[in-house]
Structure 1
Amino acid sequence: MAQRSYRTAIVGTGGIAGAHARAVRDSGRGRLVAAVDVDTDRARAFAAEWDVPRVSASLSEVLRAEDLDLVHVCTPPGTHAGLAGQCLAAGVTALVEKPPVVSLAELDGLVDAERGSGASVATVFQQRFGPGAGRLRRMAAAGDLGRPLVATCLTQWYRDDAYFAVPWRGSWRSEGGGPTMGHGIHQFDLLLSVLGPWREVTAVAARQARRVDTEDVSMALVTFENGAVATVVNSVLSPRQVTALRFDYEHATVELEHLYSYTDADWRVTPAPGHEAVAARWAAAPVPGGSGHSGQLAAVYRALDDGEPPPVTLAGTRPTVEFVAALYASAFTGERVRAGAVPPAFAARMDGTGPPWR
């Protein structure tokens, strides 16, 4: 039986939009019918490259004119919540690039809007869907790895001053934060998806070298409800770039090292003495492909087929956004912050009462 094809628009035709268009094309399940950008020349060039029939500067115009099933929101972060809200009001599901919002209050506002709509908002957290991630979660849930004990999550990237010359970058209002919000979020979202609910955060954040309003590096110590402890580092100051996650369980260490996208080959399992079978179980079911947008988009289509909210839902996104708010609150107040107890100022804005360098 033929699978349904989903009529799709992309709003925001900058760099990341190409990854979305490629995932739609390669899926064979989506049809790009509109490209939306306030820069219509850029939108026309994008439409020509990806064979998109309609170009517009207005998402609301496209929502009125087209019978859409899905909108990919690929604009700067400060616009995400408003555009996702437009989609919900029109009854169209939105797939929103990270970070989905620039504050915890914005996310909760979308939750309220979603309740009054027949549509959903999903966040692009594609690292959750890459090869190895699902296997790690399954083996951990089955008890194959024993108790989680220690973890590290490193996003040590390099972005120079020219990168931040783009007007919306490095601003609390338009980006919601620095590398914590815009770079490390994919990696610690994967960490949280593996280790489960976090309990408490103690953090520091600093503006060391870049001429921006936000931090350019942050570090956090995290405790989890299951007793695990973790370190999270987010940096745009690191000339030797690396993305690395390490999970130390009772029975094995599971490691992932890559830069922007991973495959099965980027994972390594080191069993504890007496638990050599763990490595064999890990290697028994290799998964092809990488951790790009295609894996999550396939899951989105399956959910739409079944009439279900697509992953990652706002409920599934909230722990990650709350973690960001808690990290900034701890860094700027010097206090530990528990889950469910983010100070109101930091729920309203990620910089809360203000960074010490302001």
Structure 2
Amino acid sequence: MRRAAIVGTGAIAAAHAEALRAAGDRIELVAVVDVDADRAAAFAQEWGVPRVHPRLATLLDVEDLDVVHVCTPPRSHVPLALECLAANVNVLVEKPPALSLSEIDTLIAAERASAGRVATVFQHRFGPAAIRLRRMIADGVLGRSLVAKSDTLWYRDGAYFDVPWRGSWDSEGGGPTMGHGIHQFDLMLSVLGPWQEIRALAARQARDVATEDVSMALVTFADGTVASVINSVLSPRETSELRFDFEHATVEVEHLYGYTDAHWTVTPAPGHDDVATRWREEQSGIVSGHKCQLAVFLDALDSGETPPVTMADTRNTMEFIAALYASAFTGTAVKAGQIGPDNPFYATMEGIGAPWANAR
């Protein structure tokens, strides 16, 4: 049986503990770490975890581990992942995995020198419907991709941002683009493949934060698909929506924090009813979530493959975010590959500074 530990026992850690429990005898949660000893102890008691450690270094010294789940606030993700890689331990890190492209490249370099691997939690890639959609695209059933949209319209009030690390560039890395919409447009990227160019805007409309509270982007993909992306924490009617218009059908999903097949619809183009028939051949009530990704993660470890989502996949999504901010703050179109070490948006998503920074 494989052995896991969780670092950071805040809210998202419960989803990881639940996924580990659901994996049955494939893996055991043997320890947790948190800077808040009381919270760690309460979490360990709730989930039946035998040991609590005060810091990651102690954990790595005394435990024989296959994977560490990093569930701490974003600023600590990369330092903790680097510690795990130095100990040749695999890492499953929550989103956002890093605060910048520079940090991502640091992780990539460290991974090359380690027996451990880093995977990012982008769980919506692994729901049965998303897997089916990518397979149908690969099989040519849907025809050419033409138009798409990704909308993450959520609501977070002022009290949400009272948590010290939220709403700042140096601790969260960005606003809803980085911390909320990332799940939806990452799924879009996994479906549509390489993006080519972004034209974007970002604004601070209502929340007293340093980052944006809404962003919008127009995106061109390498295959010619054109797409729109909206990320908001100002929207009282909350929804997470993706729409893909192919030659032979429109495929849509509307959910909030996790989907089943019931959240998806397929509308065939005239003369292509076979698309809907094929979609209905496989039906599942499984909710896209951490359980789905952990199962695939363990399959990869068992087969000796690199667990998804790989650092190359993660970098593509993080570069998308950096390009969105760069376009929004400079008023120019930004192409894939344009943000290198000499670009101000490489070291921080804030880049040259948000237009509203001086108004605070």
The bucket for the TM-score relative to the shorter chain is: over 0.9
CA distance in 2, matches of 1:172, 1:34: 31
| Superposed structure 1 runs of 4+ greater than 6 Å apart | none
Q: Which residue of 2 aligns with 1:165?
A: 162
Q: State the Cα deviation string for residues 209-264 of structure 1 (Å, max 9, x = none).
A: 00001000000000000000000000000000011000000000000000111001
Of the three residues 10, 16, 39, the one matched with 1:14 is: 10
1:352 paired to 2:348: no
Q: State the Cα deviation string for residues 325-345 of structure 1 (Å, max 9, x = none).
A: 000000000010000002611
Q: Which letter does structure 2 place at the counterpart of 1:225?
A: A
Equivalent pair of 1:131/1:262 in contact (CA under 8 Å): no
Q: Give the TM-score normalised by structure 2.
A: 0.98
Q: CA deviation at 1:44?
A: 0.3
Equivalent pair of 1:8/1:72 in contact (CA under 8 Å): yes
Equivalent pair of 2:262/2:285 in contact (CA under 8 Å): no
Equivalent pair of 2:174/2:211 in contact (CA under 8 Å): yes
Where structure 1 has 5 or more consecutive residues not aligned to the other structure, the ranges are none
Q: Which residue of 1 aligns with 2:142?
A: 145
1:336 paired to 2:333: yes
Q: Which letter does structure 2 place at the counterpart of 1:12?
A: G
Q: Which deviates further from its counterpart, 342-351 or 18-27?
A: 342-351
Q: Which residue of 1 aligns with 2:207?
A: 210
1:171-182 pair list within 5 angstroms: 171-182=168-179
CA distance in 1, matches of 2:67, 2:187: 24
Q: Which letter does structure 2 place at the counterpart of 1:350?
A: M
Of the three residues 59, 72, 75, the one matched with 2:69 is: 72
CA distance in 1, matches of 2:173, 2:93: 15
CA distance in 2, matches of 1:288, 1:156: 24
CA distance in 2, matches of 1:156, 1:57: 38
Q: Which residue of 1 aligns with 2:255?
A: 258
CA distance in 2, matches of 1:275, 1:342: 41
Equivalent pair of 1:6/1:69 in contact (CA under 8 Å): yes
CA distance in 2, matches of 1:342, 1:218: 19
CA distance in 2, matches of 1:68, 1:26: 19
SS at 1:201's partner residue?
A: strand
CA distance in 2, matches of 1:25, 1:334: 48
Q: Which letter does structure 1 place at the counterpart of 2:219?
A: V
CA distance in 2, matches of 1:155, 1:335: 23
Q: State the Cα deviation string for residues 88-141 of structure 1 (Å, max 9, x = none).
A: 000000000000001000000000000100110000000000121011001111
Q: Which letter does structure 2 place at the counterpart of 1:15?
A: A
CA distance in 2, matches of 1:40, 1:255: 44
SS at 2:171's partner residue?
A: helix
Of the three residues 91, 94, 99, the one matched with 1:94 is: 91
Where structure 2 has 5 or more consecutive residues not aligned to the other structure, the ranges are none
SS at 1:23's partner residue?
A: helix
Q: Which residue of 2 aligns with 1:103?
A: 100
Equivalent pair of 1:146/1:249 in contact (CA under 8 Å): yes
CA distance in 2, matches of 1:213, 1:121: 30
CA distance in 1, matches of 2:174, 2:54: 27
CA distance in 1, matches of 2:142, 2:163: 45
Q: State the Cα deviation string for residues 58-111 of structure 1 (Å, max 9, x = none).
A: 001100000011000000011000000000000000000000001000000000
CA distance in 2, matches of 1:31, 1:159: 35
CA distance in 1, matches of 2:290, 2:196: 30
Q: Which letter does structure 2 place at the counterpart of 1:131?
A: P
Q: State the Cα deviation string for residues 37-67 of structure 1 (Å, max 9, x = none).
A: 0011100000000111111220011000000
Q: CA deviation at 1:306?
A: 1.0
SS at 1:240's partner residue?
A: strand
1:225-236 pair list within 5 angstroms: 225-236=222-233
CA distance in 1, matches of 2:299, 2:172: 31
Q: State the Cα deviation string for residues 136-188 of structure 1 (Å, max 9, x = none).
A: 00111111001100001000000000000000000101100000000000000
Q: Which residue of 2 aligns with 1:298?
A: 295
Equivalent pair of 2:196/2:222 in contact (CA under 8 Å): yes
Q: CA deviation at 1:286?
A: 1.0
CA distance in 1, matches of 2:43, 2:254: 33
CA RMSD of the aligned region, Å? 0.6
1:270-309 pair list within 5 angstroms: 270-309=267-306
Q: CA deviation at 1:309?
A: 1.4
Q: Give the TM-score normalised by structure 1.
A: 0.98
CA distance in 1, matches of 2:349, 2:169: 7
